[in-house]
Every structure is written in C-alpha cells, then in structure tokens.
Amino acid sequence: MRGLHCAACCAILLLYPLQTIGSTVFRCEDATGHITFTRQGCPDEHNQSLQQAYNPKPGSGKPVPLAKPSKESRESKKRDGTELTVIGAKLDGCGNHLTSSERRAAIIKQQIRLGMSRADVESSLGKPDKITEQNGQARYVYLGKKGNKRNVNFDETGCVKGKTKR
C-alpha cells in the first residue's frame, strides 16, 4: 500500500505545472561586433548589457517574438541605387536556349526543341531506332508505328540543331 501511495505522489508531481524559469544573462559585444551571452559577466574591453532570458511554456498564450527585424521601406530600397548583378550562371552546354522549366515541359510533351541535349531527347522520345554520325554530327532516327519517321539532328557538341523533321 505504501508503494502505491508513493507512486501516486510521483504521478501528481509530474502532472503539476512547473513555473517558467527565467534568468538574467550578460550580453557581451566585442569591437568586431561578435556577441556572446554569459552568466559570469563580460571582459573589460567588451560592451556589456543585461539581457532577460524568458522561455514561456508552449501554448501558454500569445507568441513571444525573439527579435524585431529591421524593415527597410520600399523607398529606401529604390534610393539605394544598387542593382542586382549576376556573377555566374549555369551553362547547359547547348547555349542556354531553354530554361529548366521549358526543358521539362518539352520533355513531358515529347517535343524536341533547339538546345536540347542527347539525354533530353532520349528522355523525351526514348532510345532511337537508328543512330548515324557524319563529320562529328549525329542524327537520331525514330520510326513510328504507321511508317512515319522522325529525325533529330545534333551538332558537334551533342545539342539539337535546327528544326527536327517528322
């Protein structure tokens, strides 16, 4: 009986809501702007301020913001005068004629477009029935069920060139 009483007391203690514990810490900022939080205080060469640490229980009420981000107005962005500069761009090896979304859409629709690679064509139409090569340029030939033929011409770099014939 005594063990049952002890277990019941432990269960009650576990279910009893504990107070949220907060503490005050030191916020130390050095000359380079590096910030450190500590409970022991800051070195003499650092700027020191007290920071109240409060960690509310989840679901205890309205949300507590961690920090207020600084918002730049649209006017200040316009007045800045800086423009976006692209330093590097992904090269697909075929002259970047297609964006990745245009390439995916063409493959799904089984269309062949200028600037597609051999792998793109095979993803769209499958393995060719015949491959011919002449002067470093390849041609894929696809034979249809009704006797129609489709040719896809590639340049020296393996990219679709010109128009494809059905």
80-84, 131-135, 148-152, range with the lowest pLDDT: 80-84
| 32-78 pLDDT, tens digit each | 988 888 878 888 888 888 877 666 666 667 766 666 655 655 555 55
| 99 part of a folded domain | no
| 105 part of a folded domain | no
User: Which stretches of the chain are DSSP H helices?
Assistant: 2-15, 74-80, 100-108, 118-125
pLDDT of residue 152: 93
| 122 part of a folded domain | yes
The C-alpha atoms of residue 111 and residue 113 are separated, in whole angstroms, by 6
| 133 part of a folded domain | yes
| 142 part of a folded domain | yes
Contact indicator for 41, 48 with CB cutoff of 8 Å? yes
Q: How many domains does the chain have?
A: 2
108: which 2 tokens?
């799904």
114: which 2 tokens?
């200028």
Domain that holds residue 27: 21-57
Please enumerate in sequence order all residues whose Cβ is within 8 A of that of 43, keeping only pairs 6 or more positions apart, or say none. 28
| 117-145 pLDDT, tens digit each | 999 999 999 999 999 998 888 999 999 88
pTM: 0.44
| 5 part of a folded domain | no
| 136 part of a folded domain | yes
pLDDT of residue 46: 87
